[in-house]
Chains A and B, each alone.
Chain A
């Protein structure tokens, strides 16, 4: 291949067309202190709070503190190249990140720069990371369901589009798995998903991205990652950056699901930089505005009214607790901000109930309106069943003679727990959930052995897929429960052919 000099010079000319020979006039200040991801600078008398500044080595900073004699700056990047006495100049802009369709399918850092090695991102402009949440009149109530594909959530703590639902639990209880499974289930739902990893190990994020790629979920997902090796300011701004990327789609009338994994680490990063900025520490050494940090973030999750296109952002913040202590500072804050929480119990997790959702303490404050009617009808009694099961379970351990009503309740409870178990990365479409829960609540499972429940579920779904697809379709289309008699007879038809597993046959014979 020969290189033509004219072509190159034409290209260079084209690129230089934008150059204007002009005097650059800039407001500058002098760095007086630098360290631990923050810098202080004298001068910059007109700097605005939140404004982006540029240090002499090209690193950017964001104004955080405006004091009488100097400004406190968080450095967004490597602060090793900044020296005392360096100049720092105003850019006149506030912190913005690139947004647009081109971001989808990419892994970016908190500044919106690609970190997946797939080259430049074609963005459709930028949006400021800090924006005011939509006002009262811009919103409408949440009434569309967001199907997570997890039976225990969709039946017990349904989530609506535009809702903020907290996922809370100890470390290693499956918080992230629920979030990832929810993303997987958004396939073909015309949703954009944004996974914001804050302080998550790079290897963990890598494996999440692998999972998403494996299930084809990266086609509609943006991953924003601020790893633990990055300076605290980037961890702090990551969720705001992710939300700005989501707002672009929301304003275009699309539906967005954002997962903040996790806000505990963001709070820790903010605590770190606040302490270094010498802001007074409050409870647990968090700064005074830690509540506002989270409330203004989560308030940006909204369901817009139809005039604004009806788009939505659903937020699933994740908070980690220590030894199940939900009364610590950050958990109570975020619980009070969100519209409900999914509490994950480490005891259940280790006893094999996965997802380990604690039905008693998990609530959804708006989701009930956002359930399809069919789900409401079949899932309505689940919570009660589980509650009475938990209550009776402890009694049943003492006495052996139980009346038949109690026995039945225990029986039903054990089966409910079994039905709500679900393997990892295996989201279930809503019509199948309705079918399984219909079998449970109408008593078809009461005679089935516990070990057979999972197999029964799979087979009944297969049976309906091949013989009664019309019933499943009608659930999807109308959202209503099909004619109960017809539905029941179809299930009965299956039940009559269901073979209990061999081991129990043997048991009966030996008995």
Chain B
């Protein structure tokens, strides 16, 4: 194993975050200036899908024992698939500087900027029972109104331990209306 990804604890991953934020910001500004935001976004999503479908892909690309020529081949297919020249360049720059392990964080950071720009809010929904599409749609509308977003992308999860109600987690804010936390509050009141 090499030490790039995990070796020195939080400091290293901290750099990763800063790094990806910087690249994402630069990429966003370029794409915005050329009005290629949406196509660029799609390109990035497909690149991200490659990394997510093949968990060993990123470690291989940053592994020094893996021949450079083979790496170049892997990366080339990625470049060919991208329609935007900025995305192509991003892949070249990252692979050239041996930073392919930061590809996914960069795409994530880009998504954050993109969402903020388009007033899209991503949220995790936790409920005790699964909700049907109609209920989710209503919830989306209500939530979008409350936080002033144009579009809400929900990823729902079922967790019976919350007993009833809903928990919505979005960015840094948690909206907790679950029966479990209400019971906890009652418990605290009684124990006072």
Asked if A40 and B10 make an inter-chain contact with CB atoms under 8 angstroms apart, the answer reads yes
Query: A12-B190, A16-B190, A40-B10 in contact; A25/B174 too (CB < 8 A)?
Result: yes
Within 8 A of B (CB), among A275-293: 278
Query: A25-B175, A26-B174, A28-B174 in contact; A15/B14 too (CB < 8 A)?
Result: no
Query: A19-B185, A278-B11 in contact; A89/B190 too (CB < 8 A)?
Result: no
Write the nearest CB–CB distance from A39 to chain B, whole angstroms: 11
Asked if A87 and B174 make an inter-chain contact with CB atoms under 8 angstroms apart, the answer reads yes
A70 within 8 A of B: yes
Checking A19, A33, A44 against B10 with a beta-carbon cut-off of 8 angstroms, the contacting residue is A33
Asked if B186 and A33 make an inter-chain contact with CB atoms under 8 angstroms apart, the answer reads no
Query: A32-B10, A33-B9, A69-B14 in contact; A18/B189 too (CB < 8 A)?
Result: yes
Q: Which of A29, A43, A69 has the most CB of B within 10 A?
A: A69
A232–B181 CA distance with the chains assembled, in angstroms: 32
Write the nearest CB–CB distance from A47 to chain B, whole angstroms: 9
Within 8 A of B (CB), among A85-100: 87, 89
Asked if A23 and B189 make an inter-chain contact with CB atoms under 8 angstroms apart, the answer reads no
- Nearest A residue to B11 via CB reads A278
Asked if A68 and B18 make an inter-chain contact with CB atoms under 8 angstroms apart, the answer reads yes
Residues of B within 8 A of A27 (CB): 172-174
Residues of B within 8 A of A16 (CB): 186, 189-190
Asked if A43 and B14 make an inter-chain contact with CB atoms under 8 angstroms apart, the answer reads no
Which label, helix, strand, loop or mixed, suits the secondary structure of the B interface?
helix
A278–B11 CA distance with the chains assembled, in angstroms: 9
Asked if A15 and B181 make an inter-chain contact with CB atoms under 8 angstroms apart, the answer reads no
Within 8 A of B (CB), among A47-105: 67-70, 87, 89
Asked if B174 and A15 make an inter-chain contact with CB atoms under 8 angstroms apart, the answer reads no
Checking B14, B172, B181 against A28 with a beta-carbon cut-off of 8 angstroms, the contacting residue is B172
Write the nearest CB–CB distance from B83 to chain A, whole angstroms: 31
Checking B18, B185, B189, B190 against A69 with a beta-carbon cut-off of 8 angstroms, the contacting residue is B18
A24 within 8 A of B: yes
Asked if A15 and B18 make an inter-chain contact with CB atoms under 8 angstroms apart, the answer reads no
Write the nearest CB–CB distance from B120 to chain A, whole angstroms: 18
A89–B174 CA distance with the chains assembled, in angstroms: 9
B176 within 8 A of A: yes
B150 within 8 A of A: no
Residues of B within 8 A of A23 (CB): 175-177
Checking A28, A32, A70 against B173 with a beta-carbon cut-off of 8 angstroms, the contacting residue is A28
Query: A70-B14, A89-B174 in contact; A21/B190 too (CB < 8 A)?
Result: no
Write the nearest CB–CB distance from B7 to chain A, whole angstroms: 14
A67–B190 CA distance with the chains assembled, in angstroms: 39
Within 8 A of A (CB), among B1-19: 9-11, 13-14, 17-18
Interface size class of B (residues with CB under 8 A): 20 to 34
Within 8 A of A (CB), among B21-70: 21
B192 within 8 A of A: yes
Interface size class of A (residues with CB under 8 A): 20 to 34
A45 within 8 A of B: yes
A87–B181 CA distance with the chains assembled, in angstroms: 14
- Nearest B residue to A90 via CB reads B172
Q: Which of A23, A25, A27, A33 has the most CB of B within 10 A?
A: A23
B169 within 8 A of A: yes
A67–B10 CA distance with the chains assembled, in angstroms: 13
Write the nearest CB–CB distance from B16 to chain A, whole angstroms: 9
- Nearest B residue to A43 via CB reads B172
Residues of A within 8 A of B13 (CB): 32
B182 within 8 A of A: yes
Write the nearest CB–CB distance from A198 to chain B, whole angstroms: 29
- Nearest B residue to A29 via CB reads B172
- Nearest A residue to B177 via CB reads A23
Asked if B189 and A15 make an inter-chain contact with CB atoms under 8 angstroms apart, the answer reads yes
Write the nearest CB–CB distance from B165 to chain A, whole angstroms: 9
Asked if A26 and B176 make an inter-chain contact with CB atoms under 8 angstroms apart, the answer reads yes
Query: A21-B182, A33-B9, A69-B18 in contact; A45/B192 too (CB < 8 A)?
Result: no
Checking B14, B171, B181, B186 against A19 with a beta-carbon cut-off of 8 angstroms, the contacting residue is B186
A318–B10 CA distance with the chains assembled, in angstroms: 37
Residues of A within 8 A of B172 (CB): 27-29, 43-46
A67–B21 CA distance with the chains assembled, in angstroms: 14
- Nearest B residue to A47 via CB reads B172
A489–B190 CA distance with the chains assembled, in angstroms: 73
A87–B21 CA distance with the chains assembled, in angstroms: 23
| Contact bitstring B160-188, A, C-beta under 8 A = 1, else 0 | 00000000010111111100011001100
A67–B17 CA distance with the chains assembled, in angstroms: 12
A161–B181 CA distance with the chains assembled, in angstroms: 50
A18–B192 CA distance with the chains assembled, in angstroms: 11
Residues of A within 8 A of B182 (CB): 21
A28–B185 CA distance with the chains assembled, in angstroms: 18
Q: Which of B171, B174, B175 has the most CB of A within 10 A?
A: B174
10 further contact pairs, Cβ within 8 A, besides A23-B175, A23-B176, A26-B173: A15-B192, A16-B190, A19-B186, A24-B181, A26-B174, A28-B172, A29-B172, A69-B18, A70-B14, A87-B174
- 10 examples of A-B residue contacts, CB within 8 angstroms: A21-B182, A23-B177, A24-B174, A25-B173, A26-B176, A27-B174, A28-B169, A29-B172, A46-B172, A89-B174
Q: 5 tightest CB-CB pairs across the interface, nearest first?
A: A43-B172, A69-B17, A24-B176, A33-B10, A23-B177
Residues of A within 8 A of B (CB): 12, 15-16, 18-19, 21, 23-29, 32-33, 40, 43-46, 67-70, 87, 89, 278
